[in-house]
């Protein structure tokens, strides 16, 4: 099992025990995947505000030469329009060289660009960082090795950025 998969499985088991990832040999038909399984959802460390988390993620991305493409502060925009909203902001991140490599491998990967991390407040007032669980692409037996290598590298970068935000480490 690769290190990325081990980290994601551990985080999913701790944070989402009801939707733990399970392997299937396909003998019982296609694997059923709940939408929650396609997302890595990690709570912010107690005392870490969403603003601190966003700042930590932006700093980590810059340190890793990952470009912040967009920072959407959706809840602020909704409030400006007079609409009550829980906290929701989305950081869109991309390494242009990786984006170029991805579409050279298969133009379909453009649909996954840029990578996103959302900071979301749930109905209990708890804050979460969420990103796509890239293991579903990494473990795809139909993907060529070059695509898998790229997905693993991108996933590792995104996990490092998400981890910095969750802990609020500047």
Q: Is 26 domain-assigned? A: no
Total structural domains within the chain: 1
pTM over 0.85: no
3-state secondary structure of 125: coil
Q: What is the CATH number of the domain that holds 129?
A: 3.30.310.70
Residue 25 lies in a domain: no
At 48-86, the pLDDT tens digits run 999 999 999 999 999 999 999 999 999 999 999 999 999
* Contacts with 69 (C-beta within 8 Å, 6 or more apart), sequence order: 92, 93, 94, 114
**Is the residue at 33 inside a domain?**
no
Coil vs helix vs strand at 131 = strand
Range of the domain at 100: 3-16+38-167
Is the residue at 27 inside a domain?
A: no
Question: Which residues, in sequence order, are bridge partners of residue 68?
Answer: 93
| pLDDT band of 29, cuts 50, 70, 90 | low
CA distance 132 to 117: 8
Residue 32 lies in a domain: no
Q: Is 147 part of a structural domain of the chain?
A: yes
For residue 29, being part of any structural domain is answered with no
Percent of the chain with pLDDT over 70: 76
pLDDT tens digit string along 113-134? 999 999 999 999 999 999 998 8
């Amino acid at each position: 099992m690769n290190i990325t998969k081990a980290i994601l499985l551990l985080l999913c088991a701790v944070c989402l025990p009801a939707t733990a990832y399970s392997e299937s040999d396909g003998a019982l038909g296609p694997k059923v995947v709940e939408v929650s399984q396609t997302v890595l959802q990690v709570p912010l460390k107690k005392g870490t505000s969403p603003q601190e988390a966003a700042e930590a993620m932006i700093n980590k991305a810059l340190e890793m030469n990952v470009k912040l493409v967009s920072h959407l502060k959706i809840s602020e925009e909704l409030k400006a329009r007079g609409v009550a909203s829980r906290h929701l902001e989305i950081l869109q991140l991309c390494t242009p060289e990786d984006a170029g490599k991805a579409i050279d491998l298969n133009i379909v990967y453009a649909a996954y660009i840029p990578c996103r991390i959302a900071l979301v407040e749930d109905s209990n007032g708890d804050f979460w960082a969420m990103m796509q669980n890239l293991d579903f692409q990494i473990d795809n037996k139909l993907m060529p090795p070059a695509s898998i290598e790229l997905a693993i590298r991108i996933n590792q970068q995104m996990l490092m950025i998400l981890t910095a935000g969750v802990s609020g480490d500047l």
